[in-house]
Amino acid sequence: MTPWKRAELLHKAAAILKEHKKPIAECLVKEIAKPAKDAVTEVVRSGDLVSYCAEEGVRILGRGFFWSQIASLGMRRTNIVSLLRFLLV
């Protein structure tokens, strides 16, 4: 799956979270006794975080490299960090 397709799906998931924030917040209130206002805020912020992660995935991997491709090369973590620094400069 391309980073852009993954981002599209994550944005849809974030939109669903935000569309259904009240029922999801009600579950939080019932299950963990979270105050209703805080529960709604948490659901909205979770949707925002999913959208942020979608955009970061496109920004980081937007040059055509996928984590699975990098990992399949047998690179160590320090080499991956060096590669990313090179790509992002």
Residue 80 has pLDDT above 70, yes or no: no
Residue 39: give the domain boundaries: 3-88
Closest CA to 25 of 13, 16, 14, 37: 37
Q: 37-49, pLDDT tens digit by residue?
A: 999 999 999 999 9
pTM of the model: 0.64
Q: What is the DSSP string of 1-46?
A: --HHHHHHHHHHHHHHHHHTHHHHHHHHHHHH---HHHHHHHHHHH
Closest CA to 12 of 54, 68, 72: 54
Amino acid at 83: L
3-state secondary structure of 34: coil
Give the total number of structural domains in the chain. Answer: 1
